Amino acid sequence: MSADRKTAAIIGGGVIGGGWAARFLLNGWDVCVFDPDAQAQRKITAVLENARYALPMLYNTALPDEGSLTYCETISGAVQNADWIQESAPERLALKRKVYQTTQEHCRADAIIASSTSGFKPSEIQGCATRPEQIIVAHPFNPVYLLPLVEIVATDENPPEMTDRATGIIESLGMFPLRVRAEIDAHIADRFLEAVWREALWLIKGEIATTEEIDNAIRYGFGLRWAQMGLFETYRIAGGEAGMRHFIDQFGPCLQWPWTKLMDVPELTDELVEMIASQSDAQSGAHTIRQLERMRDENLVGILLSLKTRDAAAGALLNTHEARITQPPDTSGAEPITTLNRNVPIDWTDYNGHMNESRYGQVFSDAADVVMALLGADAEYIKGDNSYFTVDIHIRFLQETRTGQRFSVHSRVLLGEGKKLRLYHKMLADDGSVIATGEQMLIHVSLKTRRACEPQPEILAKLESLAAAHATIPLPDHLKDT
C-alpha cells in the first residue's frame, strides 16, 4: 500500500458494499472487505467488473490509479488501518450494533464509521456504541459506483468537524453529499421511494396495472423529468407563467380527494407476492440480473453524459470532479505530451462493435485543444478573436478499440512557425500498442476576418520553444520523407 493512499474498510460486501468497494477503489483508495458469505468475493468481482466498465466512461480523463483490494477474514483485520469504515450489513438493527461494537474495539478513534442504512436513524445505530461520535449515516443509491447521491445524517453526538470531514471525503469520491438537517426514519429519498412503491403495490393488487405498465408510466414520463430537475422545479414549470403558486392553486385540492392510498399499505400476502413476481418474470425474466445491470448502467452513463454536456444536475457534479482529478500535461522534457488519457465511452461504438472512425477525428481534435491550451491559445485567447483552424488531417487506423478501453494520446509539434502548427498524435492502448496516428495541420486565424494571421507574440514564443524541444525526438519511419 502506498503511503499517501487512504484505506476504506467495507463491512458487508453485498449489493451496496460491493458498490462502495468499487467507488473507493476506482477513486484510488485501498479497500479491505469483510463479509462472512463465502460467495462475497465472487459477487464483488462481478460488481467491480460492471464499475470498471461504466464509471471511467463518465470522464474525459483517467480516474486515479486503482487501489488494492484485500479480503479479510475478520472485522478486526478489515478495520484496523482504515480511514473510512462503511458498514453495509443487512438492515437489522441488532446486527448492525454488534458490528459497531466489534469495529470500535479494533479501529482507529479518528476513523469515520458510516452506515449505509436505508431506514435507521443515526441515533439508533449509535446506541450501544463505545464512541457514538464516530458513527454517522452515509446512505448511498444503487449502483453506488455510478449514482452520486449520499445522504449524510448526523446527530448532536457527532462533532461538526467530523461531519464536515465525512462530507469532504464523499465529495472527493465524485459523489454528492446531501446533508439531512434532522434525523428521520428513512432519511429523505427513501421516503419518496417508499411512497411510490406503496402506491404501485396498490395498483397491482387492484389489477389496475402490471409491473411493466407501472414501469412504463415512470420511464416514458416523469422519470425523465426527475433526472434533471427533480420535483419542485418541474412543478414550478407545470404551473405555467404563474409558476408554483398557480400549480398549488390548481392541484393542491387533489391532495384532499385523495388521488392516492398512500396512508395504507397493502398486505404482502403470498398471492400478491406471486402476482408481482410472476409479472416481473414475464417483463424481465428473459435477462439475467447481470444483463439487466449492464443495461441499467449503460443507460445511466448515457443520461449522465448528456447532463454533463449541458453542465446540469448530476452532470455538473461530474464536471467538477473531472476538473479535480485531471492531471496537467507534463511539458518539462523533450518528450511527446500526453494530451489525453481516458476510456472509450459507450456512444463512440458503432454497428461493427468498435470505436467508430468519426471518433478518431474527435480524439485528435481534443488532443489538439490540449496543445493549444498549453501554448496559451485557450478559451480566454479565443475570446479575443484569435484561434487555430484545422486545414488537413491524415489518420491511420491501425487497430480496433472498444467501449470501456483505456487509451492515451501522445502529441508532438512537428512544425511551429508563424501561422503554421503541425502536430503528430499517437493514440496508444493500455499495453502501449498504437491504435491510430494522426497528422494534423492547423493554421492560426483571426475569428473576425476568418483569415490566416500570425499568433500573438507570446503564443508564437511558446510554440517555437515547444517545436525546438520536440525536434530532438526521432521521427516515425512513415514521416521521414514528408
Ligand X SMILES: C[N+](C)(C)CC(=O)CC(=O)[O-]
Residues at the binding site for NAD(+) are 12-17
Choose the binding region for ligand NAI from 112-120, 238-246, 333-341, 430-438 (rule: CB under 6 A).
112-120
Residue from 9, 16, 69, 78 in contact with ligand NAI (CB under 6 A): 16
Q: Does 142 bind ligand NAI (CB under 6 A)?
A: yes
Least distance CB 1 / ligand NAI (angstroms): 22
Q: Which helix (H) or strand (E) holds 414?
A: strand 406-417
Tell me how far apart the alpha carbons of residues 442 and 420 are, in angstroms, rounded to a whole number.
6
Q: Are 70 and 33 contacting, i.e. CB atoms less than 8 angstroms apart?
A: yes
> Which of ligand X, ligand NAI, none has residue 36 at its interface (CB below 5 to 8 Å by kind)?
ligand NAI
99 vs 304, beta carbon nearer ligand NAI = 99
Q: For residues 106-165, which are near ligand X according to CB under 6 A?
A: 118, 141-142
118 vs 408, beta carbon nearer ligand X = 118
Q: What sign results for the dihedral spanned by CA atoms 163, 169, 172, 178?
A: negative
Beta bridge partners of 79: none
Q: How many CB atoms lie within 10 A of CB 329?
A: 17
Choose the binding region for ligand NAI from 11-19, 271-279, 320-328, 378-386 (rule: CB under 6 A).
11-19
Q: Does 89 bind ligand NAI (CB under 6 A)?
A: yes
Contacts with ligand NAI by CB under 6 A: the residue count is 24
Contacts with ligand X by CB under 6 A: the residue count is 5
> Which of ligand X, ligand NAI, none has residue 17 at its interface (CB below 5 to 8 Å by kind)?
ligand NAI
Q: Does 91 bind ligand NAI (CB under 6 A)?
A: yes
Q: Does 11 bind ligand NAI (CB under 6 A)?
A: yes
294 vs 396, beta carbon nearer ligand NAI = 294
Q: Does 148 bind ligand NAI (CB under 6 A)?
A: no
Q: Are 100 and 23 contacting, i.e. CB atoms less than 8 angstroms apart?
A: no
Nine cell digits for residue 19: 458498490
Nearest to 137 by CA among 77, 192, 95, 96: 96
Nearest to 116 by CA among 215, 13, 191: 13
Burial 226-262 (b: 16+ CB within 10 A, else e): ebbeeeeeebbeebeeeeeeebeeeeeeeeeeeeeee
Which residues have C-beta within 8 Å of that of residue 408, sequence separation ≥ 6? Answer: 62, 338, 340, 341, 342, 427, 428
Q: Are 413 and 422 contacting, i.e. CB atoms less than 8 angstroms apart?
A: yes
Q: Does 13 bind ligand NAI (CB under 6 A)?
A: yes
130 vs 399, beta carbon nearer ligand NAI = 130
Helix or strand or coil: residue 275?
helix
Nine cell digits for residue 82: 482504515
Q: Does 99 bind ligand NAI (CB under 6 A)?
A: yes
Residue from 9, 25, 32, 35 in contact with ligand NAI (CB under 6 A): 35
Least distance CB 303 / ligand X (angstroms): 16
Residues that bind ligand NAI (CB under 6 A): 11-17, 34-37, 40, 88-91, 95, 99, 116-118, 139-140, 142
Residues that bind ligand X (CB under 6 A): 118, 141-142, 190, 193
